[in-house]
C-alpha cells in the first residue's frame, strides 16, 4: 500500500513539474491553481482524447492524471514547454474524421457548448447537431467547411475554449499570435464593437502580448491613434467583423436535477422502463455488461432509439476494481465491442457499482472511454414501492450528482412523483461537464 501511495505521489509530482508556464521555468502548479495557461492545457489534452475533464482553467487531479498519461504515451521533449508539445502533437495527429466517438468527441462537444454553438447531448457520439455546430465554428473562424476535425480546427477550438473560460473569470490574458479582436469577442460572448473600443490601444489592430480587457466600452471619442512604431508583421493580428453569442449553460435552470443510471437491469425491468419513458417523455442512462448487451440486443436497440445514453459496466459483470490490468483491459475491450455490435454505436462511458480505481480509469482512457463513478447507489433489499420511494428521495437529495439504481422500480410512479417536483434528468455527459 505504501509503495502504491508513493508511486501515485511521484506521478502527481511529475505532472506538477511538467505543467509550467514555459520550458525550463521553475514555476510549478498545485491543485486548484487557475488561469489561462491551465485552461489551454486542459483544452488541448481534451481534444487529444486524454480526458482531463471539462475545461475549467483550474488544476485538478484528473488534469494531472491525464498529463501523466500523455507523457507515458508521447514522452517529454527537452527545451520545450509542455503546452507547445501538446500543440505539436495535435498537428501530428492530423484530421479526425466525422463519425468518431469517445473522450475526444466528448471534449469537442463540451468545447463547442462553452462557445455557445453546440446544444445537443454531451455523449461523445458524432451527431448532426455536432456537425452543424462544427460548421458554424469553422465559418466563424474563417476556415473551410470540412465537417471533420482538422488539426487546425482542433487547435483553434482548444484555444478559444480556454479564452472563453478565461474571459468568464476575468483572468489575466495577453493576446497570442493569431488572435484577433473579433475572435476574442466571439469567445468571450461580448459584442464586437464595444469589446474593440475597450481594447483599442492600437486602434483596430491587436498586438501579440497586448493585455486584454474583458469588458465593453461605449464610443465617446475617435478611436485611439495607433502607436507610432509599427508592430512586427508576425505579431499583429488582423481585425474582423464580430457578433455576440449567448452562452447556454449545461445546468442553466433552478429545478432539481440529477443523473439516474440504471445498472444491469433485468429484461422485464427494461421493458417496463421503456414503456414508462415513452409515456412520460423522459430518458435515463442505462449501464449494462457486454454479455447482457449481446443477449438482449433488441432491448439495447429499443433503449437507444428512445434516446437513452448507453454505458457499459464491463463485459462479464465482474467487479473491475478487483481485477489485474490485463483483466480490466479484456473486460472493457470486449464490453465496448459487444455494445457496438448490439446497438450500432460504441459507448462513451464506463460506470459500475463502485468508483473506478486508477487501473480501471487508465485502461478506460486508453480505450477512448470516460470512467465515471456513482455518487450514491440505491440497492435491492426493499419492496418495489420501497425502492421506488428511496430512489426518488436520493435523486432529489443529490443535485447534479449520479444516482445509481440496482433494483426493480415502479417507473411510472417514479416519473410521476419526480414530475410533481419539477425534476429534470441530467445525463452522464452533463455531469462530466459540470465536474
152 and 134 Cβ atoms separated by less than 8 Å: no
Q: Taking residues 56-78, what's their average pLDDT?
A: 87
Percent of the chain whose predicted confidence (pLDDT) is above 90: 47
Question: CATH 3.20.20.370 occupies which residues in the chain?
Answer: 257-433
pLDDT category of residue 366 using cuts at 50, 70 and 90: confident
Q: Taking residues 344-368, what's their average pLDDT?
A: 89
How do residues 368-386 score in pLDDT, each as one tens digit? 899 998 999 998 778 899 9
How do residues 5-21 score in pLDDT, each as one tens digit? 433 443 444 444 444 44
pLDDT category of residue 77 using cuts at 50, 70 and 90: confident
What is the structure's pLDDT at 33? 87
How do residues 222-271 score in pLDDT, each as one tens digit? 544 444 444 443 333 433 333 333 333 433 335 678 899 999 999 999 99
How do residues 400-422 score in pLDDT, each as one tens digit? 889 999 989 999 999 999 999 88
The set of cell numbers assigned to 108 is 469537442
Three-state DSSP string of 268-289 = HHHHHHHHHHHHHCCCCEEEEC
Question: CATH 1.10.101.10 occupies which residues in the chain?
Answer: 13-19+31-161
205 and 180 Cβ atoms separated by less than 8 Å: no
How do residues 149-207 score in pLDDT, each as one tens digit? 899 999 999 999 999 999 999 999 999 988 989 999 999 999 988 899 999 988 888 88
CATH number belonging to domain 13-19+31-161: 1.10.101.10
Among 68-82, 124-138, 342-356, name the one with the lowest average pLDDT: 68-82
Would you give the DSSP letter of residue 402?
E
pLDDT category of residue 144 using cuts at 50, 70 and 90: confident
What is the structure's pLDDT at 435? 65
Among 1-5, 133-137, 187-191, 330-334, name the one with the lowest average pLDDT: 1-5
Average pLDDT over the chain reads: 83
What is the structure's pLDDT at 18? 47
What is the structure's pLDDT at 382? 82
pLDDT category of residue 300 using cuts at 50, 70 and 90: very high
How do residues 94-130 score in pLDDT, each as one tens digit? 888 878 888 899 999 999 999 999 998 898 999 999 9
Would you give the DSSP letter of residue 91?
H
What is the structure's pLDDT at 78? 75
The set of cell numbers assigned to 239 is 481585425
The set of cell numbers assigned to 389 is 420511494
What is the structure's pLDDT at 429? 87
Across 204-320, where does the E strand assignment appear? 206-207, 236-237, 257-263, 285-288, 309-312
- At residue 149, the 3 state secondary structure works out as strand
Quick one: fold of 257-433?
Answer: TIM Barrel (3.20.20)
Please tell me the number of Cα atoms within 13 Å of 22 on its side-chain side.
1
pLDDT category of residue 301 using cuts at 50, 70 and 90: very high
Amino acid at each position: 500500500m505504501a509503495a502504491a501511495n508513493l508511486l501515485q505521489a511521484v506521478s502527481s509530482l511529475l505532472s506538477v513539474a511538467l505543467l509550467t508556464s514555459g520550458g525550463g521555468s521553475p514555476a510549478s502548479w498545485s491543485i486548484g491553481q487557475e488561469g489561462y495557461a491551465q485552461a489551454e492545457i486542459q483544452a488541448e489534452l481534451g481534444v487529444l482524447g486524454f480526458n482531463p475533464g471539462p475545461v475549467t482553467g483550474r488544476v485538478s487531479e484528473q488534469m494531472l492524471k491525464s498529463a501523466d498519461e500523455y507523457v507515458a504515451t508521447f514522452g517529454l521533449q527537452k527545451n520545450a514547454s509542455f503546452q507547445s508539445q501538446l500543440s505539436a502533437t495535435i498537428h501530428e495527429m492530423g484530421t479526425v474524421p466525422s463519425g468518431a466517438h469517445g473522450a475526444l468527441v466528448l471534449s469537442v462537444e463540451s468545447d463547442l457548448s462553452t462557445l455557445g454553438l453546440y446544444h445537443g447531448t454531451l455523449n461523445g457520439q458524432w451527431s448532426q447537431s455536432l456537425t452543424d455546430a462544427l460548421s458554424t465554428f469553422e465559418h466563424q473562424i474563417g476556415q473551410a467547411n470540412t465537417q471533420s476535425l482538422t488539426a487546425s480546427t482542433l487547435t483553434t477550438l482548444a484555444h478559444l475554449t480556454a479564452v472563453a473560460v478565461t474571459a468568464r473569470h476575468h483572468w489575466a490574458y495577453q493576446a497570442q499570435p493569431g488572435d484577433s479582436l473579433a475572435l476574442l469577442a466571439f469567445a468571450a460572448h461580448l459584442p464586437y464593437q464595444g469589446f474593440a473600443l475597450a481594447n483599442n490601444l492600437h486602434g483596430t489592430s491587436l498586438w501579440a502580448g497586448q493585455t486584454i480587457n474583458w469588458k465593453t466600452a461605449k464610443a465617446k471619442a475617435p478611436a485611439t491613434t495607433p502607436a507610432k512604431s509599427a508592430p512586427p508583421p508576425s505579431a499583429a493580428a488582423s481585425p474582423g467583423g464580430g457578433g455576440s453569442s449567448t452562452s447556454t449553460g449545461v445546468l442553466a435552470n433552478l429545478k432539481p436535477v440529477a443523473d439516474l443510471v440504471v445498472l444491469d437491469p433485468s429484461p422485464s425491468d427494461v421493458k417496463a422502463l421503456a414503456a414508462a419513458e415513452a409515456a412520460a417523455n423522459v430518458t435515463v442512462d442505462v449501464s449494462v455488461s457486454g454479455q447482457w448487451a449481446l443477449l438482449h440486443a433488441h432491448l439495447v436497440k429499443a433503449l437507444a432509439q428512445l434516446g437513452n445514453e448507453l454505458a457499459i459496466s464491463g463485459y462479464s459483470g465482474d467487479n473491475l476494481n478487483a481485477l489485474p490490468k490485463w483483466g480490466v483491459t479484456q473486460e472493457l475491450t470486449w464490453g465496448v465491442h459487444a455494445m457496438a455490435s448490439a446497438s450500432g454505436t460504441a459507448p462513451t462511458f464506463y460506470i459500475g457499482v463502485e468508483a473506478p480505481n486508477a487501473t480501471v480509469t487508465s485502461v478506460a482512457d486508453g480505450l477512448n472511454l470516460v470512467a465515471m463513478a456513482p455518487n450514491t447507489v440505491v440497492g435491492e433489499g426493499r419492496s418495489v414501492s420501497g425502492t421506488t420511494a428511496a430512489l426518488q428521495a436520493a435523486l432529489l437529495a443529490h443535485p447534479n450528482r449520479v444516482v445509481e439504481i440496482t433494483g426493480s422500480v415502479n417507473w411510472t410512479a417514479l416519473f410521476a412523483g419526480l414530475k410533481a417536483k419539477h425534476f429534470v434528468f441530467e445525463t452522464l455527459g452533463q455531469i462530466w461537464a459540470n465536474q
